[in-house]
A and B are shown apart, each in its own frame.
Chain A
Amino acid sequence: MAAIRVAGLRKRYGDLEAVAGVSFEVAAGECFALLGPNGAGKTTTVEILEGYRERSGGEVEVLGFDPQHGERDFRERIGIVLQSAGVDRELTVEEIVALFGGYYPHPRDAGEVIDLVGLGEKRAARIKTLSGGQLRRLDLALGIVGDPDLLFLDEPTTGFDPSARRHAWELVDSLRDLGKTILLTTHYMDEAQSLADRVAIIAAGRIVAQGSPESLGGRDVAEAVISFRLPDGATLADLPGDLPAGIQRDEDRVLLRTSAPTSAVHTLTGWALARGEELEALAVTRPSLEDVYLQLTGSAERPAEVVHD
């Protein structure tokens, strides 16, 4: 069953088409990431799904509801972690989490939620004394205190130090283990790679690629690149003849593209061993998610269409 169904979604602001026909589905229990540069339309898309915006066109269904009707039943089943949303700074952490829990029919225990996000020591502290990273964790606490079926996370770890990020990731993983559906937007490739079952890359209001982090943009079947430094005194002509074609030189390194890296590495290392030499800086790489992302978002141009009302 799909928790989120989006088909041909459009959103216009005057002459600007911020979302220009986006379609995707998120299965119940799945963690889905929307990845894209600023202004690509990911926050607009998410805010339509959260019920903050009316769409200009297309179909949207979230947990069986049309979010723009904004029913209370709908909002009781979602949790929202906005990119930037204030809280009353004069309250303590515990007061605000307990207050928000009271808005929902079956809230989680406030103290437990505070511990979960790692704010246990700050329980009685006024919110105005929290650091940026701690505020973000409070955002997360307020998003999950209602025990939602579906959690929206808009750039949840921006401003976190590395250990706080790891902690947040573990928390998101544990939410998914509980069967929660998660829709995540992020700038961080490693975050999408670590958390998401599936990723959609959005650029200029359109989805330009969609799939598992491993297969996105065909990078699982893309050619691997073997690189190494030539041993002293050796030239390209000394390399074994049965290596794949397409050998390039990049300064003192040799680059070799192949769809069969296993046998190429075998041939290469056999050759080096026979000569009794070490292949320095030997590496086999595939295009990273970041390579795919940069390639896809860099080439996608914003459509210059003007909409006349």
Chain B
Amino acid sequence: MTERLHAGGHPATGPLLLRQFRHQNKLFLRNPFSAFFSLAFPLMFLLLFGSLNGSQRIPELGGIRYAQFLVPGLLAFAVISTCYTGLATSVPMNRDLGVLKRIRGTPLPAWIYVAARILSSVWFSLVSAVIMIGAGVLLFHVRIIWRMLPAAALTLLLGAACFCALGLAVAALIPNGEAAPVVANFTFLPIAFVSSLFYPMVGAPAWLNTVADVFPVKHFALALEDTFNPLVVGSGFRWGHLGMLVLWGAIGAVVAVRRFQWEPRTDRPGGQRPRVSRAWKASA
């Protein structure tokens, strides 16, 4: 037991974070919905779309095979489902049930709890990437373009971080757990269909592309898709798109940190937002 303690007498940070991370992973795998929507659902799309059109060529993208476009597109979809939809849905539900309130009453530092949830989402984004790319290679002859793999990895991590921040921000703003799935899906799905995740948006009305350009989904999709496009030269870093991810991630992080709630909204007389102790925020 003593090896878990350090000088201050608190359990050591590293092992604490690792345990909490593994705990979140366990919850993710035991929750049929999260595992299904993050891992199985995108894979199902891949099998379906890939079987129907995998070998067709996309003239608008210089004639590359559809499967070569679809795998990174659906991977972006999987990452957003895991990070954004997952957190924006489960955090308000946990809050409503008092899970977060109970955690707040323990000595576990708030930042470790939140960090473990983020790391767990990022971890399953990576798992999803391995599954999707593996399935693409084995079933649809997708080519991994090794010179652009570092760009693909960076894009994936930045995207996961950005959508975790946005998921937590939306979780902080959603009034209750019942509204959470509605808000999470309603803010993502309409944008998903115009953001080049499932098919290229080349030839779509200009105004639609302008709208999609505002949101981070399309930038994430395009940056990831380019790293699988054999016609792209160089190392494949799309700094403009990545910049948009950083910007949206930063906005999400600021909102999440300022507005994060540990207690159910309806829990107190007068229905007010509880004032969290300043020191609690400081320790968070």
Contact = CB atoms under 8 A, between A and B. Distances in A.
A160 interface: no
Interface in B96-110: 97-99, 101-102, 104-109
A99 B22 CA distance: 10
A90 B94 CA distance: 13
Contact of B105 (A52, A54, A68, A99): A52
Contacts of A68: 277, 279
Chain A at the B interface: mostly helix, strand, loop or mixed?
loop
Contacts, number: 104
B19 interface: yes
Given A90-B31, A91-B27, A99-B19, A82 B102 contact: yes
Nearest to A68: B277
A100 interface: yes
A102 B10 CA distance: 10
Nearest to A96: B23
B210 interface: no
A72 B270 contact: no
B192 to A, nearest CB: 28
A70 B279 contact: yes
Contacts of B102: 80, 82, 85-87, 142
A14 B272 contact: yes
Given A70-B279, A82-B98, A86-B97, A103 B106 contact: yes
B63 interface: no
Given A52-B105, A70-B283, A105-B5, A86 B98 contact: yes
Nearest to A128: B30
Q: How large is the interface on A (under 10, 10 to 19, 20 to 34, 35 or more residues)?
A: 35 or more
Contacts of A84: 98
Interface of B: 1, 4-5, 9-11, 16, 19-20, 23, 26-27, 30-31, 94, 97-99, 101-102, 104-109, 263, 268-270, 272, 274-275, 277, 279-280, 283
A53 interface: yes
A70 B107 CA distance: 9
Contact of B107 (A18, A75, A142): A75
B35 to A, nearest CB: 11
A146 interface: yes
A13 B277 contact: no
A47 B27 CA distance: 29
Interface of A: 13-16, 18, 39, 44, 50-54, 68-72, 75-76, 78, 80, 82, 84-88, 90-91, 95, 99-100, 102-106, 142, 146
A118 B264 CA distance: 30
Contacts of A15: 270
A123 B82 CA distance: 31
A104 to B, nearest CB: 6
B11 A86 contact: no
Contact of A103 (B30, B98, B108): B108
9 contacts: A52-B101, A52-B274, A69-B279, A76-B9, A85-B99, A90-B26, A100-B106, A102-B11, A104-B107
Given A44-B269, A71-B283, 7 more contacts: A72-B10, A75-B106, A85-B98, A87-B102, A90-B26, A99-B23, A105-B5
B277 A90 contact: no
A16 B270 contact: yes
Given A68-B279, A99-B19, A103-B16, A90 B105 contact: no
A126 to B, nearest CB: 8
A90 B30 contact: yes
A44 B20 CA distance: 30
